[in-house]
Amino acid sequence: MAEELELQTPWLRLAARAWGPLDGLPVLAVHGWLDNAASFDALAPLLPGIRLVAVDLTGHGFSGHRPPGAHYYFVDFIPDMVAAVDALDWDRFAVLGHSMGGGIASFMAAILPERVTRVAMIEGLGPPTSNPADGPADLLKSMKQMNALPHKRPPVYPNMDAAIQARCEASGLSWPAAAILVERGLQPIDQGFGWRTDPRLRFVSPLYLSEPQILAYMERIKAPALLICGADGYLIKRAYMQERYARISDLAVKILPGGHHPHLEDPEPCANLLGQFFAAA
């Protein structure tokens, strides 16, 4: 059974789910964009001997939201997760991340080589980038989105099944996988159910890192690294990822059947790879 945790950082409250013995190998698990800590519900029980703590990222699940007027920059999630491991009193630890969480995990490994013992990523390596020429338009659009927020009505679903169906249609997830995420991501409101996630998470970022900046982080990852890709996932289709792979000194890339959520849709193959990877620590 998962244990619910609350981590108080110097500036916000983070919620988390934990599995495994307290003296197990400490692994911080970081979920993807618009998901939550339940992303690891199917995988975590298949990793014996590991103390896996999956945190709801800021603005997701049961964690706190950023103050009014603040954006969700990718790089701001990094100090949030470092504050989480500090709250857990972990000096050295491994990191496991999915999608955007994989990007966060890779950056943590880059800036904390003395603390991150191993880094495993599923369908995520570094953050997304954009065409530098789109920067002014992105900034303007994000400002307009923030100004329009008070006048927007969030979606309301008459029941949980309707929300699960919406998540299936938006992401291509199977019903059982979507249900796991939706159960933690939904909250009751007067007319039905609405998302717990901060609506600002859907805004265009006011600023993206450039690819040369991202490559500089990849070069600084010294811990053993594992990247798991779905054969029908996102990373396989992105040729520029090959250069990111090449900049990491000790990286193994494994491809499994499935799409963007292989750890949730079919967790056993992922667990086999991850179990061997973490056992070598």
pLDDT above 80: residue 223: yes
pLDDT above 90: residue 268: yes
Q: What is the mean pLDDT of the chain?
A: 96
177 in a structural domain: no
Q: Which residues are catalytic?
A: 99
In the prediction, which pLDDT does 72 show? 96
**Assigned token pair, 208:** 């993206």
123 in a structural domain: yes
Number of Cβ within 10 Å of residue 72's Cβ equals 20
Cα separation of 218 and 208, whole Å? Answer: 16
263 in a structural domain: yes
Mean pLDDT of 26-53: 98
Mean pLDDT of 187-207: 94
Cα separation of 272 and 258, whole Å? Answer: 15
Share of the chain above pLDDT 70, in %: 100
Q: Give the total number of structural domains in the chain.
A: 1
Region at 98 (left for phi over 0; alpha for psi -120 to 50; beta for the rest): beta
pLDDT above 90: residue 25: yes
78 in a structural domain: yes
Q: What is the CATH number of the domain that holds 37?
A: 3.40.50.1820
Strand-pair partners of 54: 17, 29
- Model confidence at 14, pLDDT cuts 50, 70, 90, reads very high
Share of the chain above pLDDT 90, in %: 95
Where in the sequence is the domain holding 32, given as residue range(s)? Answer: 3-132+210-279
Are residues 107 and 126 in contact, defined by beta-carbon separation less than 8 angstroms? yes
Mean pLDDT of 186-206: 94
Amino acid (1-letter code) at residue 230? G
- Model confidence at 81, pLDDT cuts 50, 70, 90, reads very high
- Model confidence at 202, pLDDT cuts 50, 70, 90, reads very high
Mean pLDDT of 256-270: 97
In the prediction, which pLDDT does 1 show? 83
pLDDT above 90: residue 281: no
Crossing angle of helices 77-87 and 100-111, in 10° steps, is 70
Mean pLDDT of 4-25: 96
pLDDT above 80: residue 41: yes
53 in a structural domain: yes
In the prediction, which pLDDT does 36 show? 98
pLDDT above 90: residue 190: no
* H-state helical runs in 127-174: 135-148, 160-171
190 in a structural domain: no
In the prediction, which pLDDT does 27 show? 98
- Model confidence at 191, pLDDT cuts 50, 70, 90, reads confident
Cα separation of 148 and 151, whole Å? Answer: 6
161 in a structural domain: no
Provide the pairing of β-strand 192-195 with 186-189. Answer: antiparallel
pLDDT in tens, 92-143: 999 999 999 999 999 999 999 999 999 999 999 999 998 999 999 999 999 9
267 in a structural domain: yes
In the prediction, which pLDDT does 99 show? 98
Q: Which long-range contacts (CB under 8 A, 24 or more apart) does 210-217 make?
A: 210/129, 210/132, 211/129, 211/240, 211/243, 214/126, 214/127, 214/129, 214/244, 215/243, 215/244, 215/247, 217/106, 217/107, 217/110, 217/111, 217/126
Mean pLDDT of 22-39: 98
Mean pLDDT of 32-61: 98
